[in-house]
Amino acid sequence: MSAALVTGASAGIGRAFAHALAARGSDVTLVARDGARLAALAEELHRTHGIAAEPLAADLLTAGGLAAVSTRLGDPQRPVDLLVNNAGVGTIGRFADVELPRQVDEVELNVVALVRLTHAALRVMQPRRAGAIVNVSSIAAFQPSPDSAIYSATKAFVNSFTHAVHEEMRGSGVHVMLLCPGFTHTEFHARAGLGPTALPELVWQSADEVVAAALRDLDRGRALSIPGPLNRVAAAFASVAPAGVSRRVARVVVRRVGRQETMPT
């Protein structure tokens, strides 16, 4: 039986990954800060699917939290076959106006924690010549996003980093995939205190749709998964459009999403 570790597992895309992987018969280690919520999810997954579900409460913005998850990834007695690096946070607001510590935490979680956990997983997967890693990014990574400057920049790092490591792992038996969802119905907005957005429903997907597409692409050995045709078009446009055009379009979109400062994912 395979085993997976999912960060940011208590809600949204992470929770959807946990359910989908458990339905496939995979044991799961669930990582997030909310221990009570993780314990309830673990019990639900075990009861529904008969798999082993381990709640691991950890704050990835702390050295202790990162060490606990890295230790779990490196446990030779309980090897992890799939790491889903999903934990992340976003901010909305002009860079100069949003409190700097919040934005530094955004870099620490979206970039540093992801890099550390990817490294910890690879140190164990490489000698086994088996395993997979999914790094969750965003279509925001494909263009600079005024009013969400740090978020899009951290996701651009995740894109470049994951593509490079994917190539390094070619032929090693370890598969590394980048997942870039677009607008997804999760608790992202509600937890941030954001009201309804002005974006039409057709641009949105459910977390289950995102995860189903991601797992299909992982099974096919893809390097990149962009769920939904509209998101693929948007990413392609942003990749070829002049920077002046793409950043203005991105600013309009971000302002339609909401005007509060923080959007935890």
* Angle at 123 (CA atoms; ends 117, 129), nearest 5 degrees: 120
Residue 264 has pLDDT above 50, yes or no: no
Q: How far apart are CA 53 and CA 90, in angstroms?
A: 28
E strands, the chain, where?
Answer: 3-7, 27-32, 53-57, 82-85, 89-91, 131-136, 174-179, 184-185, 205-206, 224-225, 262-264
Confidence class of residue 187 from pLDDT cuts 50, 70 and 90?
low
Secondary structure element (H or E) that encloses residue 30, with its range: strand 27-32
Q: How far apart are CA 187 and CA 34, in angstroms?
A: 14
Question: Using one digit for the tens of pLDDT, what is the confidence trace for 117-160?
Answer: 999 999 999 999 999 999 999 999 988 888 899 999 999 999 99
Q: What is the pLDDT of residue 245?
A: 46
Q: What is the pLDDT of residue 61?
A: 98
Q: What is the pLDDT of residue 194?
A: 43
Q: How far apart are CA 207 and CA 218, in angstroms?
A: 16
Averaged pLDDT for residues 83-87: 97
Averaged pLDDT for residues 250-257: 52
Number of domains in the chain: 1
161 lies in which domain range? 3-264
DSSP 25: T
Alpha carbon distance, N-terminus to C-terminus of the chain: 30
Averaged pLDDT for residues 213-233: 90
Confidence class of residue 261 from pLDDT cuts 50, 70 and 90?
very low
The active-site residue out of 17, 142, 151, 188 is 151
Question: Using one digit for the tens of pLDDT, what is the confidence trace for 47-70?
Answer: 999 999 999 999 999 999 999 999
CATH number for the domain that contains residue 74: 3.40.50.720
DSSP 145: -
Averaged pLDDT for residues 34-51: 97
Alpha helix positions (H), 169-228: 188-192, 207-219
In sequence order, the 6+-apart residues with CB closer than 8 A to the CB of 30 are 6, 9, 10, 18, 38, 41, 42, 53, 54, 55, 56
Q: What is the pLDDT of residue 174?
A: 98
Whether residue 151 lies in the annotated active site: yes
What is the pTM assigned to this prediction?
Answer: 0.87
